[in-house]
Chains A and B, each alone.
Chain A
Amino acid sequence: DTAVSQTPKYLVTQMGNDKSIKCEQNLGHDTMYWYKQDSKKFLKIMFSYNNKELIINETVPNRFSPKSPDKAHLNLHINSLELGDSAVYFCASSQVRRSRPYGYTFGSGTRLTVV
């Protein structure tokens, strides 16, 4: 039983296209995240949602739009893809108490390649 599952695992697409990545967690966590990992393995937060409410939007271009239909799902839609969007995108979830996140559970990642 996968705790945090994201699809697809690989995504190759042309510049200018629009694509979506889906994420689901079955851990009952109240907070979900999108992180971007670049080619040097540097991880940077993009968004966090707590119980379907957007909490963090970390100066991400508005071509990126997260959507959380319920607290178990957090999808990421990207419009007008650019070469610089190529990276690995990770979904994660955690329980947050008094603003303190406990251990994250990560999905296996989506490797996005824009050509």
Chain B
Amino acid sequence: SQQGEEDPQALSIQEGENATMNCSYKTSINNLQWYRQNSGRGLVHLILIRSNEREKHSGRLRVTLDTSKKSSSLLITASRAADTASYFCATPLIYNQGGKLIFGQGTELSVKP
């Protein structure tokens, strides 16, 4: 079964606006990761937040984690056309063997110039 669900499935904004994507998951985790996938390319790791962290920043990215609600959000500030991509959250299961990550269904972000 799918661990993560992302919301919205698609998001269209103008350049310069902020984009917020949400991820919910079902089981306990020790970290949560966000990835970006440009069209026709592989996924790129953006940021990892541990279960004992509530917020993390990386450049224009801000990630929050609320383990009581089993949810995370990714905020991209001052978006650019180059941010157009699909964004996925991913979680390893706490008693996971083998490093398996379970991916959400992704949010397709379109940033219009």
A103-B45 contact, Cβ under 8 Å, with A40-B105, A41-B86, A42-B105: yes
Please measure, in the bound complex, the distance between the C-alpha atom of A41 and the C-alpha atom of B105, giving whole angstroms.
Answer: 7
Please measure, in the bound complex, the distance between the C-alpha atom of A55 and the C-alpha atom of B43, giving whole angstroms.
Answer: 22
In the complex, whether B41 has a CB less than 8 A from a CB of chain A is yes
* Chain A stretch 11-64: residues in CB contact (< 8 A) with chain B: 31, 33, 40-43, 45, 48, 50, 55-56, 58
* A48 and B100 within 8 A (CB): yes
Which of B42, B45, B97 is close to A99, meaning CB atoms less than 8 Å apart?
B97
* A106 and B96 within 8 A (CB): no
Chain A residues contacting B33 (CB-CB under 8 Å) are 103-104
* A45 and B100 within 8 A (CB): yes
Using CB atoms and an 8 Å cutoff, list the residues of chain B in contact with chain A: 2, 30-31, 33, 35, 37, 40-45, 48, 86, 88, 90, 92, 95-103, 105-106
Chain A interface residue number, banded:
20 to 34
Chain B residues contacting A41 (CB-CB under 8 Å) are 37, 86, 105-106
Q: What per-residue 1/0 map shows which CB atoms of A83-115 lie under 8 Å from chain B?
A: 000000010101010011111111111000000
Chain B residues contacting A105 (CB-CB under 8 Å) are 45
Please measure, in the bound complex, the distance between the C-alpha atom of A90 and the C-alpha atom of B88, giving whole angstroms.
Answer: 15
A109-B106 contact, Cβ under 8 Å, with A56-B97, A100-B92, A103-B48: no
Please measure, in the bound complex, the distance between the C-alpha atom of A56 and the C-alpha atom of B96, giving whole angstroms.
Answer: 10
Which of A31, A56, A106 is close to B44, meaning CB atoms less than 8 Å apart?
A106
Give the shortest distance, in Å, between B57 (CB) and chain A (any CB).
Answer: 16
Chain B residues contacting A4 (CB-CB under 8 Å) are 42
The winner among B31, B41, B98, B99 for most chain A CB atoms within 10 A is: B99
* B98 and A31 within 8 A (CB): yes
24 contacts across the A-B interface (CB closer than 8 A): A31-B99, A33-B100, A41-B86, A42-B105, A45-B101, A58-B100, A90-B42, A92-B42, A99-B92, A99-B97, A99-B98, A99-B99, A100-B31, A100-B96, A100-B99, A101-B92, A101-B96, A101-B101, A103-B45, A103-B48, A104-B43, A106-B43, A106-B44, A108-B42
